Chain A
Amino acid sequence: MSLESPESGQETFTHNVEFELNGSPERHCVPTSATVLDLLRNSCGKQGVRASCERSVCGACTVLVDDLPVAACSTFAFDIEGARVETVEGLAAQDGTLSAQQQAFSECGGFQCGFCTSGMLMLTTGLLRQNPQPNREEIRDWISSNTCRCTGYEMILESVERAAELAGAKQQDQASE
């Protein structure tokens, strides 16, 4: 990420923003021009939120805002007032157990350099919430909003399929308990 530490003396207008981050309340005073990316990385310390293009093209910075994937680099911080925001840090359970998506990407090699991975995982999370059993075509369409320069995508598509499978199995387990 190129832009860092936006809190400069020259910034006169600031804004209080309250939102829920990975289930916990957050409140920050940020410059009006701050993006969700600035807020999450610099003020909330969520280093797992990546940034590359900062032009809402690559999707490396994807987070969920009220269940929907959003490019954090291109969303103003004041826009998430009162929203439910989720980042990659919120996926694993408290005890460190990986979520179905994380487990699947790890098993199927859905990453190489890993720079797109946080975004891809959040995209997958958003997809599975809307459509727990997506087919190949739906996965391909959905994943096409983010860029991965390393993997050639095939192993990402398989990871998402596997994530759906694992999430489905988990749900069944819970239902039968």
Chain B
Amino acid sequence: MTGIVIPFTPHDSPIVGRDRPRLDSTAKVTGRALYTVDIQKPGMLHAKVLRSPHAHARILSVDASAARSLAGVTAVVTREEIHGLHSYGTYVKDQPIVATDAVRYVGDVVAAVAAVDERTAFAALDLIRVEYEPMPAVFDSRAAMDPSAPAIFPEQPFAAYPEYGDGASGAAHTAHNVSYEFRYETGSESVWADCDHIFEDTFTFSRMNHMHLEPFATVAEATANEIEVWTSTQSPFPMRKELARVFGLPENDIRVNVPLLGGGFGAKNGPKTEAIAIRLSQLSAGRPVRYCMSTEEVFLTLSQHDAILTVKSGLKADGEFMARQSRVLLNGGAYADASPLVAEKAGYRMPGAYRWKRIDSVCQAVITNTVPAGAYRGFGATQATWASERQVDLIAERLGFDPLELRLKNAKDLGEEFVPGETPIDSDLKHGLNLVADAIGYRDRRRSGNRGMGVAIGIKDGGGVNKPAQARVKVTTNGDVFLNCGLVEMGQGGHSALCQIVAETLACDPGRVKYAAIDTDNTPFDQGTNAASGIAVMGHAVLQAAERVKCSVLDMAAEHLILDRQSIRLDNWHIVDAEGTTYELPPLIMDRFGGTGFEFTADGYFKVRSSSSAPLEAPCMFWEIGWAAAEVEVDPETGRVELLQLVVSGDAGKVLNKLGCRGQDEGAAVFGLAQALFEELRYKDGELLNGEALLYRVPLAEDIPQRFSSITQEQGHGAGPFGSKGMGEGGMLPIAPAIAQAIADATGAQLTSLPMTPERVYNGILHARARQGKADSNA
């Protein structure tokens, strides 16, 4: 342990930081919580879609006449019914509502039906005749970039992307089947000449499904001129904007309502079920249409990006890191979705937690005939951390350094810049690393008995780029509070934490604060619930709104009671003056405003200031860091890995809700442990073999190691309210590399591919023995 004292929750804070049940707990434990799947409307119709059986095929004809005339069917959408409507996507707008010229992956939507019930809709799908002309398909990102591979988009779809600041650049369609490319460069090329060792390694990263339990679902009520949806989205306002673009309507004619989400993990960002439900409703005379996917359909809609990462690092003989170059290929699947953003992050985060004099990073998102890939917990940083941390361990082995010491030697200090123009590192990286290493007894470990330990750090910029957030706080005459803002509750406890901030500011019982339902007509603007921005970014807007409401109440009271404004304070909807005399507010307000009552409201706003010297246009709000340490025991006969211990740690900056912080880190860590050891979408010749719940294995309680714990640090340097930072993704980043190093420590097997299945581990052990044999015979 280093000698740093962690500032824990100060005792003068009565509400923030307390271990109290979440606001949504009663609704969730009684079954009353309302999700999009629960929305019912009178006369509601049900939608189903027809999906492509081909990975790549030209559509010659679509005949839906029989489906249209089936009793109970109210509308059918084929390419004929979407004339004049636009395609969607982040930066690259390439995904139409239903396929037009061609289908691009198995599962691509070709037609959609609305009917009085799902069975009739299914029956109608069977009546739709589609003639295809199969075309050659390509599934792997390297193969897709080969000029001889089929061009998945013969014409380049519309694209718009940011300017970027110093050292960064981006461009669409830079190479064959590449939808987007991001580059980042800093330092001089000549640094390489000063390196004593240069190593180049290639790593592969597998693909997972989000497997949020609540599927994608939308209920839409729409006419040609007006659209209202209830939908499971993380980003109500970007959704409104995208729908306005797709349907060519003004934003004020579109209303997006967002109930609770049954998990998101990044999947619920762009349009999924919305456009189809809307178009079907428009064609069904405005009747409400519900489109809820099955789990199998969710598998055919979005996934994580698999990746091939080549990393070249140069260092001095004493282990000092000097230069790093990386080339990353992300498999973006058939449509761009959020691939450009993921490419940005996978490229930008390649330096990891370490100091380099030269960085040169390129990341390309490649189009292939597979399920589209998009935002996924950790967002590009999971891929980058896997390669980056793994290579540190490979280098440590080659040069005979202890992997922990090599990390401590090169990790950036608190306050050191990540890259020029970027926010300084706001956690003590070395402290956190020592903390998790000590928690599993790393330094006293015995490596006998096929046991081993590993540690790793993952780091990502948090708070999002160009994310404005607005909030409104409203207090009734009786002191009941409404918080109005666009933060979507998808399990992270964001609503509770924000309400705690309001309660703290207004010095009132948190039970009096209610998080108002989200609808884009009434909720103040927000750029979306992602990038762990809820507490740090939205938290400031909420804090500001609450402060302003408090001021207007105090102003009013001071004037009315003829008291010195500076000497009074608010306490539990009473005014307390300097002498300690308390005045009840409700009668005072009634008196003041003519006996009918009054509501105090105020708005808050926050956005990180843009800067042209920040590579991503604005410096990040905070650094989200995950530290992990793992101990494994490997069976050398079978390659089976038993995870004996796993410790994960995140820095909350300042804890607003302990249960919430802990849950975020542990939940993320379990995603990481599954990716490390078994969870994976498996393909054979481009065909997804396990795209359904029966075949796709996600972690269960029995997969959790006996000794699994999380340490929530409160280092106190966060830029969020009360010194807080965002959480929720950091815990995922370091898990796979820590487990990989534990396997290497135990057996000598240095794995470079995920997941680390028994087969891969076993082969790794054979390989390590062969290397060892060669080394022995050379000696």
Roughly how many angstroms separate A109 CA and B493 CA in the complex, as a whole number? 10
Output the residue of B22, B212, B263, B701 with the most chain A CB within 10 A. B701
B37 contacts partner chain A, Cβ-Cβ < 8 Å: yes
Roughly how many angstroms separate A30 CA and B719 CA in the complex, as a whole number? 57
Task: Tell me the nearest residue of chain B to A113, going by C-beta.
Answer: B491
Asked whether A153 and B212 contact (CB < 8 A) given A111-B28, A112-B492, the answer is no
Roughly how many angstroms separate A116 CA and B290 CA in the complex, as a whole number? 22
Q: Are B32 and A152 in contact (CB under 8 A)?
A: no
Q: Are B30 and A8 in contact (CB under 8 A)?
A: no
| A55 CB to nearest B CB, Å | 5
Output the residue of B34, B662, B668 with the most chain A CB within 10 A. B662
Roughly how many angstroms separate A114 CA and B261 CA in the complex, as a whole number? 9
Roughly how many angstroms separate A149 CA and B692 CA in the complex, as a whole number? 15
Q: A95-138: which residues lie under 8 A (CB-CB) from chain B? A: 98, 101-102, 105-109, 111-118, 121
Asked whether A112 and B120 contact (CB < 8 A) given A140-B701, A149-B698, the answer is no
Q: Are B30 and A91 in contact (CB under 8 A)?
A: yes
Task: Give the chain A neighbours of B29 by CB distance below 8 A.
Answer: 88, 91, 98, 101-102, 105-106, 111, 117, 121
B238 contacts partner chain A, Cβ-Cβ < 8 Å: no
Task: Give the chain B neighbours of A58 by CB distance below 8 A.
Answer: 213, 693
Task: Give the chain A neighbours of B701 by CB distance below 8 A.
Answer: 139-140, 143-144, 153, 156-157
A175 contacts partner chain B, Cβ-Cβ < 8 Å: no
Q: Are B295 and A151 in contact (CB under 8 A)?
A: no
Binary CB contact string for chain B from 684 to 705 against chain A (1 if under 8 A, 0 otherwise): 0000000011100011111010
| A142 CB to nearest B CB, Å | 9
Q: A38-70: which residues lie under 8 A (CB-CB) from chain B? A: 46-55, 57-58, 60
Q: How large is the interface on A (under 10, 10 to 19, 20 to 34, 35 or more residues)?
A: 35 or more
Task: Give the chain A neighbours of B22 by CB distance below 8 A.
Answer: 106, 109
Q: Are A153 and B213 in contact (CB under 8 A)?
A: no
Q: Are A48 and B31 in contact (CB under 8 A)?
A: yes
Q: Are A48 and B30 in contact (CB under 8 A)?
A: yes
Task: Give the chain A neighbours of B15 by CB distance below 8 A.
Answer: none
Asked whether A8 and B117 contact (CB < 8 A) given A52-B214, A113-B263, the answer is yes
Task: Give the chain A neighbours of B295 by CB distance below 8 A.
Answer: 52-55
Q: Are B694 and A55 in contact (CB under 8 A)?
A: yes
Asked whether A3 and B490 contact (CB < 8 A) given A55-B295, A155-B663, the answer is no
Task: Tell me the nearest residue of chain A to B22, going by C-beta.
Answer: A109
Task: Give the chain B neighbours of A117 by CB distance below 8 A.
Answer: 28-29, 31
B215 contacts partner chain A, Cβ-Cβ < 8 Å: yes
Task: Give the chain B neighbours of A6 by CB distance below 8 A.
Answer: 117-119
B708 contacts partner chain A, Cβ-Cβ < 8 Å: yes
Q: Are B265 and A92 in contact (CB under 8 A)?
A: no
Roughly how many angstroms separate A49 CA and B31 CA in the complex, as a whole number? 7
Q: Are B700 and A109 in contact (CB under 8 A)?
A: no
User: How many residues from B make CB contacts under 8 Å with A?
Assistant: 68
Q: Are B290 and A53 in contact (CB under 8 A)?
A: no
| B114 CB to nearest A CB, Å | 13
A173 contacts partner chain B, Cβ-Cβ < 8 Å: no
Q: Are A55 and B670 in contact (CB under 8 A)?
A: no
Roughly how many angstroms separate A13 CA and B123 CA in the complex, as a whole number? 18
Task: Give the chain A neighbours of B666 by CB distance below 8 A.
Answer: 151-155
Task: Give the chain B neighbours of A156 by CB distance below 8 A.
Answer: 701
| A30 CB to nearest B CB, Å | 14
Q: Which of A55, A89, A154 contacts B704 (CB 8 A)?
A: A154
Task: Tell me the nearest residue of chain A to B295, going by C-beta.
Answer: A53
| A2 CB to nearest B CB, Å | 4
Task: Give the chain A neighbours of B694 by CB distance below 8 A.
Answer: 53, 55, 57
A150 contacts partner chain B, Cβ-Cβ < 8 Å: yes
Binary CB contact string for chain A from 11 to 47 against chain B (1 if under 8 A, 0 otherwise): 1000000000000000000000000000000000011
Task: Give the chain A neighbours of B610 by CB distance below 8 A.
Answer: none
Interface of chain A, main secondary structure: loop
Roughly how many angstroms separate A51 CA and B293 CA in the complex, as a whole number? 12
Task: Give the chain B neighbours of A8 by CB distance below 8 A.
Answer: 72, 116-117, 119-120
Asked whether A2 and B118 contact (CB < 8 A) given A57-B693, A109-B660, the answer is yes
B33 contacts partner chain A, Cβ-Cβ < 8 Å: yes
Task: Give the chain A neighbours of B212 by CB distance below 8 A.
Answer: 113, 115, 149
Q: Which of A49, A88, A115 contacts B262 (CB 8 A)?
A: A115
| B732 CB to nearest A CB, Å | 11
| A110 CB to nearest B CB, Å | 8
Asked whether A4 and B46 contact (CB < 8 A) given A109-B22, A114-B262, A141-B702, the answer is yes
Roughly how many angstroms separate A84 CA and B294 CA in the complex, as a whole number? 29
Q: Are A109 and B663 in contact (CB under 8 A)?
A: yes
Roughly how many angstroms separate A7 CA and B119 CA in the complex, as a whole number? 9
B132 contacts partner chain A, Cβ-Cβ < 8 Å: no
Q: Are B30 and A89 in contact (CB under 8 A)?
A: yes
A1 contacts partner chain B, Cβ-Cβ < 8 Å: yes
Q: Are B704 and A7 in contact (CB under 8 A)?
A: no
| A170 CB to nearest B CB, Å | 16
Roughly how many angstroms separate A147 CA and B699 CA in the complex, as a whole number? 8
Task: Give the chain A neighbours of B117 by CB distance below 8 A.
Answer: 4-8
In the A-B complex, the 5 residue pairs with the smallest Cβ-Cβ separation, listed nearest first, are A48-B31, A113-B491, A152-B666, A115-B262, A112-B491
Given contacts A6-B117, A113-B262, A154-B710, 10 further A-B contacts (CB under 8 A): A3-B118, A4-B292, A9-B72, A48-B30, A52-B214, A54-B294, A55-B693, A111-B28, A150-B491, A152-B708
Interface set of A (CB-CB < 8 Å, partner B) = 1-11, 46-55, 57-58, 60, 87-89, 91-92, 98, 101-102, 105-109, 111-118, 121, 139-141, 143-157
Chosen A-B contacts, 16 in total, with CB atoms closer than 8 Å, are A6-B117, A7-B117, A9-B71, A47-B32, A51-B37, A52-B262, A58-B213, A102-B29, A113-B260, A113-B262, A140-B702, A147-B213, A151-B663, A152-B663, A152-B667, A155-B662
